[in-house]
Structure 1
Amino acid sequence: MHILVLGATGRVGSHIVKYALQDGYQVTALVRTPQKINTQHDRLTIIEGNVLEPNDLVHAMHGVDAVISALNTDGTTTLSKSMPLLINAMQHEGIKRIITVGTAGILQSRTEPGKLRFQSSESKRKSTRAAEEHEQVYTLLKESTPEWTIVCPTYLPDGEVRGNYRVERDVLPEGGTEITVGDTAEFTYRQLSDRRFINTRVGICY
């Protein structure tokens, strides 16, 4: 399998690249700063480019079977502005599978089911800007043709794979407060072969 990883220089994305290479996959990483990728491998292709440039996206997708996006918000609108371009590029190249890393804020609220968590009293965050960006991505994917999965971690400290996490469709498992970067990346990566969460959000936590 050949996958395109976006956000490959980030905390989650760098782990996903590592897991894919360990499993023998071909990996392409589209990054603004190639020097930030420390990994060198004969199955890793690093392309310098920008997710807001349609030509860069199409170029990076040549021969790709699936896309994993671990892009974060970084205080910008890159996430929401790049998703329509990403979907168009996937359709242009005939790619039918995308997995993205979102946030638990865009899961359904348990206490107020008509709202998303970030809109409800469940959320303790004062700023909703990042969640609003992720909500736009969720809306765009719901209206698109590719098969999508949004992995929605709660508080995300650094840490390796523990393997004892819980997942639940569309909501955060009860009592969940955190999940390590390693476990989030491992679960996200496994969605390439796991068909249980097609076209849905997945809450993940310990």
Structure 2
Amino acid sequence: MKLLLLGSTGRVGSCVLEKAINDGHKVHVIARHPEKLAAHHENLTIHTGDATVNADLEKAMEGCEAVISALGTDGGTVLTDSIPLVIQAMMDRGIKRLVTVGTAGILESRTEPGLLRYQSSESRRRLTRAAEEHHRAYLAMKQSPLQWTIVCPTYLPDGPEIGNYRVEKDYLPMDGTQISTGDTAVFTYKQLSSNEFIKSRVGIAY
């Protein structure tokens, strides 16, 4: 498969990149700072550019069959600037599968029905800006015709793939407190070949 990976220099994105190229996929990435990429491989095509610039996205997406985004909020509006452009470029090219990494904050609240976790007393975070950014991205995908999946990890320390994680559609697994970057990346990557969580958010935790 030929795919576009956004956020390839990040903690989760770099793990997804390694999995994909080692499995023989042709991976295109957009990087503002290509020198930060740890991977170099014959299956990897690096486009120097910006995921919030339409021309850069369109060039990197040409010929791709799916898109994975591990873009973070990085203190600005990168995510919400990029996602509408990604959606439109995918629709223009007939690409249907979009897998993104979000946050557990945009999952449904168990204690306060009708609210998302970041809007409820379940959230321990005082600052909600990042969750609000992910919420806007979620709404953009929800309103699109794409076959999207948002992987929503809870507290995300650096760590390897362990494998004994739990997942749940639209909710954070009960008493889930953390999940490693390695397991988040593995599960995100697996969604390329799974239809289980099409048009859904999925919580992931140990």
CA RMSD of aligned residues (A): 0.6
Matching residue of 1:162: 162
TM-score calculated relative to the size of structure 1: 0.99
Matching residue of 1:69: 69
Matching residue of 1:105: 105
Quick check: 1:58–1:93 contact (8 Å CA) kept in 2? no
Matching residue of 2:4: 4
The code of the aligned residue for 1:205 comes to A
Matching residue of 1:33: 33
What is the aligned-residue identity percentage? 59
- Equivalent pairs counted in the alignment come to 206
Partners of 1:83 and 1:163 lie apart in 2 by 29
Post-superposition Cα deviations, 1:119-167, rounded to whole Å, max 9, x if no partner, equal 0000000100000000000000000011000000000000000000000
Quick check: 2:97–2:146 contact (8 Å CA) kept in 1? yes
Shift of 1:12: 0.2
Shift of 1:38: 2.2
The code of the aligned residue for 1:122 comes to E
Partners of 2:38 and 2:179 lie apart in 1 by 25
Shift of 1:182: 0.1
Post-superposition Cα deviations, 1:70-128, rounded to whole Å, max 9, x if no partner, equal 00001001111111111111112221110000000000000011100000000000100
Matching residue of 2:117: 117
Q: Which runs of 5+ in 2 are unaligned?
A: none
Q: SS of 1:195's equivalent?
A: coil
Q: Which runs of 5+ in 1 are unaligned?
A: none
The code of the aligned residue for 2:74 comes to D
Q: SS of 1:21's equivalent?
A: helix
Partners of 2:60 and 2:93 lie apart in 1 by 10
Partners of 1:91 and 1:57 lie apart in 2 by 13
Matching residue of 1:19: 19
Quick check: 2:14–2:38 contact (8 Å CA) kept in 1? no
The code of the aligned residue for 2:85 comes to L
Matching residue of 1:53: 53
TM-score calculated relative to the size of structure 2: 0.99
Partners of 1:63 and 1:164 lie apart in 2 by 35
Matching residue of 1:43: 43
Shift of 1:193: 0.3
Q: SS of 2:40's equivalent?
A: coil
The code of the aligned residue for 1:33 comes to H
Shift of 1:21: 1.0
